[in-house]
Structure 1
Amino acid sequence: MSVLNADLHCHSNVSDGTLTPEALAARAQANGVELWALTDHDEIGGQHRARDAALALGLPYLSGTEISVTFAGITVHIVGLGFDIDDLAMREGLRRTRGGREERAREMADSLALVGIRGAFEGALKYVGNPELISRTHFARHLVATGVCADTSEVFRRFLTEGKPGYVPHRWAKLGDAVRWIVDAGGMAVIAHPGRYNFTSTEEYALFTEFIAHGGRGVEVVTGSHTTADFVKYAEMALEFDLYASRGSDFHSPSESHTDLGALPFLSGQLKPVWEGLAHRVHRPEASAGV
């Protein structure tokens, strides 16, 4: 059923969120979420904790991660859902993907120092739960805390997007690699928040067709960064490409995220929800009636 309050995209302090996996599980349950997934960036180290916390609360759970890939020179995110959280090939692939983050972060700090912002690397580290996953978000929190900017949105606008002083690109995994890790581990690959990438229509069509050719089967339709127009557009694209539709807030922090866990509009009834394609992969509390 498409009216399920599923939230299948959020982040803990294992990557760039501010809450623990356990606190996120409790927040999801309190907000009426009926199926939950933790999708930390390029990391599955919080999966056992998230699953166990969710099940203890009576909340059905799908394993998840969000993998950074490079496509057409742009960083694109692929969400994996329902995979085996102990799969060794996925763990190794994600470890390699994380490997370049510290080097990139040091280059970002050097770039910021050139415009008078010194000590940014050390400052960002104070906000990192997992040093392997230092990211722009951690730099943004440091710059807000030190009064350089009023909020994280201002940091990104002034310093951390392409063409700005602190932006450093990073080459992530290949699209085919990310999809293969997910699929080979028994899960489903989903294009995350496609409305964010500013692709031309030709580039976007190429992304969808290559993604499907590699074995991808889903797309996020309803997500925190999508507009109402995006909901309509990507619902139509899900139907056009015969993809499962996903729904997730992309929640990171109570003070930073625009959309809370469980607060999104429901998927349109004409779509195929990802949880129907992954029903056999859902971890359910023993007393649960099922999803």
Structure 2
Amino acid sequence: MPIDLHTHSTASDGTEPADVVVAEAARAGLDVVALTDHDTYAGWPAAVAAAHEVGVDLVRGVEVSCSQRGVSVHLLAYLVDPQAPGLLAELDRARDSRVTRIDRMVELMAADGIPVTVEEVRARAGDGTTLGRPHVADVLVDNGFVSTRDEAFSDVLRNGSRYHVSHYAPNPVRAVELVRAAGGVPVMAHPFANGRGWTVDDAVIERMADAGLAGLEAHHRDHTPAERTHAVELAARLGLFVTGSSDYHGSGKENRLGENTTTPEVLARIEDQATSGIDVVRAARA
């Protein structure tokens, strides 16, 4: 039973609508896929409809953007109640902050003659989308400034660039507590992907575990073999389970659906721990 628990749609920074992501999961031979857009549930309804249509089970989730003393932390939250007020307020605040952040970054770049405008970025993202740097990157590609998203992120959009502006994000320990309060199951995404930038140390993850962290996404393309081993060993020490996922973004990244997967036993643990009443969508299969 191939299970991929980390994908993104155009509701955040993926390049395909949620229904297309689910359809692509079916074409890739997956039995179960999770939709985990950044700080939004907007893709859930289309994903649910598509899951029934194409015969793929769907885990509804969200990727909560967190920050620990300026270090980015990503928390996957599965089967949360989308109406839970505490988590919903944090997601709303984070999305609002992303808008003002992107506006400021674009202003700084445009002042130096880089071909991008706020209007272009918002048009590229579309209505209701969680704005992010990938949308700026797409406009830079469209306007011929760079060839790919990766090139933009290695240059003007990198952390530490003179154009970089931070945005609001909750502390990861607090985020774990909010996910649990929303009846969901929190899993830390790519915890040791040092190629992306600074990562938190084990002590932070230990505090997250004390607050209710359920698992670590050990098997991810941005982890080196040593980082995967570290994640597996730390999870065992802290009594956490281990997941594997693609972190699929459509054509926005090279990540391919199903390139890393999660076991059925771990998915069962996620379902057992969820208390929100939001169940895995079981699709009828031929």
Scaled by the length of structure 2, the TM-score of the pair is 0.89
Which runs of structure 1 show a deviation greater than 6 angstroms over 4 or more consecutive aligned residues?
none
Q: Give the distance between the partners of 1:274 and 1:86, measured in 2 at CA.
A: 26
Matched, 1:259 2:255: yes
After TM superposition, give the deviation of residue 189 of structure 1 in Å: 0.5
Deviates more, 1:223-232 or 1:91-100: 223-232
Q: Give the distance between the partners of 1:112 and 1:165, measured in 2 at CA.
A: 9
Task: Tell me if the contact between 1:12 and 1:40 (Cα under 8 Å) persists in the aligned partners.
Answer: yes
After TM superposition, give the deviation of residue 131 of structure 1 in Å: 5.1
After TM superposition, give the deviation of residue 216 of structure 1 in Å: 1.0
Aligned mate of 2:235, from 226, 230, 238: 238
- Aligned runs of 1:184-263 on 2, under 5 Å? 184-197=181-194, 198-199=197-198, 203-253=200-250, 255-263=251-259
1:278–1:144 CA distance, 2 compared to 1 (3 A): same
Task: Tell me if the contact between 1:245 and 1:273 (Cα under 8 Å) persists in the aligned partners.
Answer: no
Task: Tell me if the contact between 2:190 and 2:223 (Cα under 8 Å) persists in the aligned partners.
Answer: yes
1:288–1:244 CA distance, 2 compared to 1 (3 A): farther
Superposed CA deviations along residues 15-69 of structure 1, whole A, max 9, x for unmatched, are 1111111101110011111211100000012112212321332212211100101
Report % sequence identity: 29
Q: Give the distance between the partners of 1:99 and 1:176, measured in 2 at CA.
A: 21
> What RMSD, in angstroms, separates the aligned Cα atoms of the two structures?
2.3
Instruction: Name the SS for the 2:229 alignment partner.
Output: helix
After TM superposition, give the deviation of residue 205 of structure 1 in Å: 1.1
Task: Tell me if the contact between 2:94 and 2:167 (Cα under 8 Å) persists in the aligned partners.
Answer: no
Instruction: Name the SS for the 2:59 alignment partner.
Output: coil
After TM superposition, give the deviation of residue 284 of structure 1 in Å: 4.3
1:193–1:273 CA distance, 2 compared to 1 (3 A): farther
1:132–1:283 CA distance, 2 compared to 1 (3 A): closer
Task: Tell me if the contact between 1:196 and 1:226 (Cα under 8 Å) persists in the aligned partners.
Answer: yes
Task: Tell me if the contact between 1:222 and 1:246 (Cα under 8 Å) persists in the aligned partners.
Answer: yes
Alignment coverage as a number of residue pairs: 279
Deviates more, 1:35-44 or 1:227-236: 227-236
Task: Tell me if the contact between 2:30 and 2:258 (Cα under 8 Å) persists in the aligned partners.
Answer: yes
2:15 aligned partner, one-letter code: T
Residue segments in structure 1 that go unaligned for 5+ positions in a row = none
Q: Give the distance between the partners of 2:119 and 2:265, measured in 1 at CA.
A: 43
Matched, 1:30 2:27: yes
Aligned mate of 1:42, from 28, 31, 39: 39
Q: Give the distance between the partners of 2:142 and 2:115, measured in 1 at CA.
A: 14
Instruction: Name the SS for the 1:100 alignment partner.
Output: helix
Q: Give the distance between the partners of 1:81 and 1:171, measured in 2 at CA.
A: 22
Q: Give the distance between the partners of 1:145 and 1:54, measured in 2 at CA.
A: 32
Q: Give the distance between the partners of 1:239 and 1:119, measured in 2 at CA.
A: 47
1:43 aligned partner, one-letter code: T
Task: Tell me if the contact between 1:80 and 1:182 (Cα under 8 Å) persists in the aligned partners.
Answer: yes
